[in-house]
Chains A and B, each alone.
Chain A
Amino acid sequence: MSDPRQPRWEHDTETQLTSRQRLDRTARHLLPSVFTALVIIFFSAPVTVPGAAELLPAIVINTIFFWSVWRPSGMPSLAVFLLGLFMDLVGFTPLGVSAFILLLVHGIGSYARFGLMRMNFLVVWCLFGLVGAAAAALQWALACLFRLHLLDPAPAFFEALLCIGVYPLLSATFSWFLHILDEKDTP
């Protein structure tokens, strides 16, 4: 069926790429997912970072939200799903819970991205705070559901606060990174 002479509809982006450029682009697309996977591995090792258990979901939610809003090509749904599953397998959460929560965050991020991109940083931060708090609350609710026991909500609060607090730092880092990538793209 595929006829090489027939112009494909993404003709302008795909045909002039050399193999090196293609490799470069693939690496660029995989970078956020690989970063997140490394963060998960690092934080599941017995590191002496205070609050590591709460910091890990906070960082992962931040990363996924940021890339879903600003560069969805770097964080496709499948990658989010696999990362969530990996987090569940490495950790002790019931299988699939993190995948579900992260997919929801990703869905909200990519659904609202055109609205969010036009907004002030502070507004985006506030909205993200709501998303992070909701994710932490959902995690708490699911944990309660599976244990059939009302658990202490304090860690969820702590996680939500960390999630909100870490956002400016990670956002600045990722924005700087995106800036570098874009500069490289248009010499």
Chain B
Amino acid sequence: MVPVSIQVRQALSKLVLPVLLLMSVGIIIAGQADRPLADKARMRVADVLAPLWGLLSRTQTDSERFVHGIQEARNLAEENHRLSAENANLRRWYEVAVSLARENDALKTELHWVPEPTPAFVTGRVVADSGGIYARAVLLVAGTTSGVQVGNIALASSGLAGRVTEVGAHAARILLITDIASRLPVELESSHAAAIMVGDNSPLPRLLYYSQDTRPIEGERVVTSDQAGAFPSGIPIGSVHYLHPGQPVVQPFARLDRLTMLRVFDFGQSEIEPPEAPGHVPLTRPHRALTLPFKTLLGPGQEG
């Protein structure tokens, strides 16, 4: 250590705090100016910490399972009665479902129905709730090595959870539908009317921009719409609920506050391009070549 006088030492130690404060301001500005770099640094840290978080969450699920097991053992008989009654009921529904599926198959064969491609998906454990007060996001242990890409769709067991926004090698960050940055085109199921679901960091995202003649009905199911090309249509999101008159919100089916597993689907939406519609040819003189690609005519937001 270089020997310095006491005065210099004291002066230096007084300088440390202001210098660090300035540095943090510099980092704030740099992080705002170069967001990809900040995101990359974040994902690197998350990659390193992912196994640790995995360990923590696994310990937690194990202990919860243990406690749950003890609680369950106490009311086994009652549960058994309830389940056998439910089983009888479900068996009836099973018969109905089988006959309906058969009928559906027969009808589809009649109609020469083109089957939709089954989307590829990976399942991962949610290891970190990386959102703070002003953000809602989770971290999933599944990254580019398992085929997760930015823009893929994360589903919980019962409904839509969010979209992949950043991907590392072993971890992916998923922006939940409740985040303030989340805006999704949705469809009200019974009226087929379009609306926008806007997150506001509260557990209940709001419904906006619905048409005034088809207002959302309390309890109506809300599903995704394929309007912007980002989502396939018909993924269940939640049900409409009115907090106050004229202020509809969506109660998500997925329990977004305690996610444990998420399935990430690659619907490959970007590959589907609508065929060029003959009615949409721009008005140009016949001998001049078209300078604009047809894609630009599809309206804003179609490119996904």
Give the A-binding residues of B (Cβ under 8 A).
1-3, 6, 16-17, 20-21, 23-32, 38, 41-42, 45-46, 49, 52-53, 56-57, 60, 64, 126-135, 137-138, 180, 200-202, 258-260
Q: Which residues in B have their C-beta under 8 angstroms from that of A44?
A: 49, 53, 128-130
B129 closest partner in A (C-beta)? A46
A44 closest partner in B (C-beta)? B128
Q: Which residues in A have their C-beta under 8 angstroms from that of B201?
A: 151-152, 155
Going nearest first, the 6 A-B pairs with the smallest beta carbon separation are A95-B31, A96-B27, A92-B135, A96-B28, A99-B24, A45-B56
Say whether B133 contacts A139, CB under 8 Å: yes
C-alpha gap A104/B24 in the complex (Å): 11
How close is A138's CB to chain B, nearest CB, in angstroms? 12
Q: Which residues in B have their C-beta under 8 angstroms from that of A76?
A: 16
Check if A42 is an interface residue, CB within 8 A of chain B.
Answer: yes
How close is B140's CB to chain A, nearest CB, in angstroms? 11
Q: Which residues in B have their C-beta under 8 angstroms from that of A90?
A: 42, 45-46, 49, 128, 130
10 A-B residue pairs with CB within 8 Å? A41-B52, A41-B53, A42-B56, A46-B60, A46-B129, A81-B20, A86-B45, A90-B42, A95-B27, A110-B17
0 or 1 for each of A33-65: is its CB under 8 Å from B? (1 = yes): 000000001101111100011101100000000
Give the B-binding residues of A (Cβ under 8 A).
1-2, 8-9, 41-42, 44-48, 52-54, 56-57, 76-78, 80-81, 84-86, 89-97, 99-100, 103-104, 106-107, 110, 139, 143, 146-147, 149, 151-152, 155-156, 159
Say whether A96 contacts B25, CB under 8 Å: yes
Question: Which secondary structure dominates chain A's binding surface?
Answer: helix
How close is A5's CB to chain B, nearest CB, in angstroms? 13
Say whether A152 contacts B31, CB under 8 Å: no
Say whether B24 contacts A91, CB under 8 Å: no
How close is A172's CB to chain B, nearest CB, in angstroms? 26
CB < 8 Å neighbour of B129 from A45, A106, A139: A45
Known: A45-B56, A95-B42. 10 other contacts (CB 8 A): A41-B52, A41-B53, A57-B132, A93-B132, A103-B24, A107-B21, A146-B32, A151-B134, A151-B180, A152-B202
